[in-house]
A and B are shown apart, each in its own frame.
Chain A
Amino acid sequence: MDIRQETSAQTQASTTAGLPVAGPRAEQRARSGWASLSRIGRHVAIYGVLIVIAILVLAPLEWVAASSFTTRETVWKHVLPFSWRAFLPDHFTLDGYRQIFEAGYGRTMANTFVLGTVTVVLSLTVGSLAGFTFARFEFRGKRFLWAVTLISFMVPYEATVIPAYTLVNDLGWINSWQALIVPAIANGTVIFLFRQFFAEIPQDLIDAGRVDGATWPRILAGIVLPLTRPVIITSAIIIFLSQWNSFFWPQLVAPDAKYRVVQVAVNILGVEQQTSYWDRLFAATTIAALVPLVLVIPLQRYYVSSIVSSGIKG
């Protein structure tokens, strides 16, 4: 039940966040004036560090976003020589966005959304079946097949790109949707997450179903799956993000503009064209970065807890 624990630990952390320092130690130390001074000092130090880190994280993102709302002539106006106004659009305009959408960025985004969604559905189906089997069945060759799964998800993806490309080419799948979807369906992390989850479901629940004479697919669909909301959300985020964020594979197997996905489009604007169309590049980058953020931030509870539990247990 690790997933639940992590989640509750998180909620707890955020609910107690309002109190300065919790626990008996704090009360003990608060008795002496020196201690409270050092407590203030500690808070100043902590907030100092937090602010510096937050700036390091936010500044480049904010700069990119701000630059996307200005004209290409004014993008660099406050950068060299630098003034803080570099972090605000100089002349507010949506021109960069208008241009990329006229050049087909909408289609590119739609491509990526559809691609991500289809992969999520297929991957969850395949992954939940496999995870359930590994968690709930005893069968000959189980350890071997589990080892195969582990190895295949530990092999770095980059190392297999070139031969996988050759395979796509041999199948005649260059410039096709299946080249983008099929290799991404079986995802070791997802199988792993589902296995962890199913292993923690009380056996009684399943036994009850078996006694009622339900078949395995019915048990899976009727009893187990409804409980799996957290693991489904996490897996869906992981897969959707991996499709949204992938650029090397799509550029390799589906270079035709018809199949263009977001990262490839950004890459083309940023690297290939040595472009002076900074407004377009920044606009495309902002959208490409914003979508994952919109997805992850509201669902961070699920994302963080499950991704971490796979690490802690693995």
Chain B
Amino acid sequence: MPLNRTLAGKSSRRRFLQGAGATAAAVAATRFHAPAFVRAQEKVTLTWVSDLPSTEDIVKVFSEKYPNIEVQVERVTFREVFQQNQTRLGSGSDTPDIVSVDAPLVASYGSRGWLSPLDQAFTPEQLADIVPALVDSGKYNGSLLAPPIWNSSQLFYYNLDLLEAAGVTPPGPEERWTWDQVHEAAQKVTSGDVFGFQFEQYNRIYQLQPLPQGKGAKVIGDDGLTVEGIINSQEWVDAFQWFSDIHNKTKVAPQGNIDINELFVNQKLAMAIRGPWAIKTFMNANLPFRWRAAPNPYWGGDLPVTVPTDSWHVGVNVNSKHQAEAIQFVQWITSAEAGTFWYERGDNWPSQVSLLDKITKDPANADWPGKAYAIAAIESGHGVPRPLTVGYQEYEDILSTAFEDIRNGSDVKESLDNAARQIEREMQKYR
């Protein structure tokens, strides 16, 4: 490097060579905390493991603004994101630089020391624009590790034609049905190969947690580990007895592996809980029937209204060799600018307060089908993120099998007891 310095400035060709030399030196030096200004000159390539739609496009938008940073997307499937994170970050690998973190896994990744703290990178003003519950999900031990890039909300969709044909008066756009009303209506609609109702994610805690939460129950202990006496409490058993009944007793909800979109679009399913991402799908599909959306059902009376929320967050690999650039990227990808890009593509639901506000007030959303966006934005206000626990993978996986068993007709109490015992066991290692 000193040699390069002495040669500097003689000619443009020399200058070029010097630049190349400096780059090489900087690459070598980054291992030893090269100062940021040296690296600002060079072209840095960051890697990002992601399964999200339009990821390749949004990183191009970023590179137009920050020409010295290129982001290479390793496109994998949903299941593989977790597998890749686990094994690569766990072994201390320096890639991927950008880590996709499912909201409830922030704690798990944080406890294993996989992510760089980002508290310095975000000003209070920047954080103020992010939905507060999601900022909390992005923290572990009080330190911000992974801010949200996406968000989610849920809606109660129905096929207006099917409901009317069955003599059911559907809920209005502000009317919140109870789960029992849903069940009752579903029984009227179900006939032949037409089913009444189903959740899109019929075996995941994400979409099912309003059932017990709506009865005032918790989904995990305050220590983030205890589940015994919580997920097998009377509230849970009652809530999932309803879930069991719609599958096994009245059979208004289809069993087995099913594709809710396929069923709904083909008029084989009258009502469904789905995210706002369905709106664009429906609009593009030119459906031969009228569909509407309503607020999420609840258990009625004074009981609480909770709506699933949260989605993907991003963090910086603690062993990444390009900390500064990776942080720059995270700052941008979590901004309202990036959120708008994705929202306009119809891919995601934004995590920025300003954007949600805009959606609610957008005159284009005053009538159907845009109205569904406005309802989803209002429902976001009832959002309760998934449980914050270091053992989320275990928690979710074991509960999923329990939900499947319940769908297949296993005894509710027994299934939940079993799940509680198994989760408690797996949580032992974090105590």
User: Is A174 in contact with chain B by the CB < 8 A criterion?
Assistant: yes
In the assembled complex, B78 has its CB within 8 A of some CB on chain A:
yes
Q: In the complex, what residues of B have CB within 8 A of residue A257's CB?
A: 75-76
Complex CA gap A170/B193 in Å reads: 52
Residues in A with CB closer than 8 Å to B83 are 252, 255
Q: Give, as a whole number of angstroms, the nearest-CB distance from B46 to chain A.
A: 15
CB-CB nearest in chain B for A72: B262
Q: For the complex, what is the distance from the CA of A134 to the CA of B156, rounded to whole Å?
A: 70
Complex Cα gap A170–B77 (Å)? 23
Contact status A166-B78, CB under 8 Å: no
The interface residues of chain A lying within 8 Å CB-to-CB of B87 are: 165-166, 169
Indicate which residue in B75, B257, B262 contacts A256 across the interface (CB closer than 8 Å). Answer: B75
* Interface locus among A26-34, A44-52, A187-195, A268-276: A268-276
Give the nearest-CB partner of B78 in chain A: A272
A276 touching B259 in the complex, CB below 8 Å, given contacts A169-B87, A170-B91: yes
**B residues 60-102 in Cβ contact with A at 8 Å:** 74-80, 83-84, 87-88, 91, 93, 95
Q: A170-B91, A251-B80 in contact; A175/B259 too (CB < 8 A)?
A: no
Looking at the assembled complex, report how far the CB atom of A223 sits from the nearest CB atom of chain B, in whole angstroms. Answer: 48
How many residues on chain B are close to A (CB under 8 Å)?
A: 21
| CB pair A174 B88 closer than 8 Å | yes
**A274 and B91: CB pair below 8 A?**
no
Q: Is the interface of A mostly helix, strand, loop or mixed?
A: loop
For B78, what are the chain A residues with a Cβ–Cβ distance below 8 Å? 272
Please tell me if B340 contacts chain A, counting CB pairs below 8 Å: no
CB-CB under 8 A from B49, the residues of chain A are: 255
Any A CB within 8 A of the CB of B261: yes
Do B79 and A175 touch (CB < 8 A)? no
Q: Roughly how many angstroms separate A166 CA and B92 CA in the complex, as a whole number?
A: 11
Contacts of B91 in A (CB 8 A): 166, 169-170
Pair A274/B259 contact, Cβ less than 8 Å = yes
Given contacts A256-B74, A276-B259, contact A169 B79 (CB under 8 A): no
Given A169-B93, A256-B74, A256-B75: A274 in contact with B257 (beta carbons within 8 A):
yes
Question: Is the beta-carbon distance between A255 and B76 smaller than 8 angstroms?
Answer: yes
| Interface bits A77-99 vs B (CB < 8 Å: 1, else 0) | 00010000000000000000000
Of residues 272 to 306 in A, which have CB atoms within 8 Å of B's CB atoms?
Answer: 272-276
**In the complex, chain B residues whose CB is within 8 Å of the CB of A268:** 77
Q: Among residues 255 to 287 in chain B, which have CB atoms less than 8 Å away from a CB atom of chain A?
A: 257, 259, 261-262, 266
In the complex, are the beta carbons of A275 and B77 less than 8 A apart? no
**Chain A residue with minimal CB distance to B81?**
A255
Could you list which residues of chain B lie within 8 angstroms of chain A, going by C-beta atoms? Answer: 49, 74-80, 83-84, 87-88, 91, 93, 95, 193, 257, 259, 261-262, 266
A-B contact pairs, 18 of them (CB 8 A): A165-B87, A166-B87, A169-B87, A174-B88, A174-B93, A174-B95, A175-B74, A251-B80, A252-B83, A255-B80, A255-B84, A257-B75, A268-B77, A272-B78, A273-B77, A276-B259, A276-B261, A276-B262
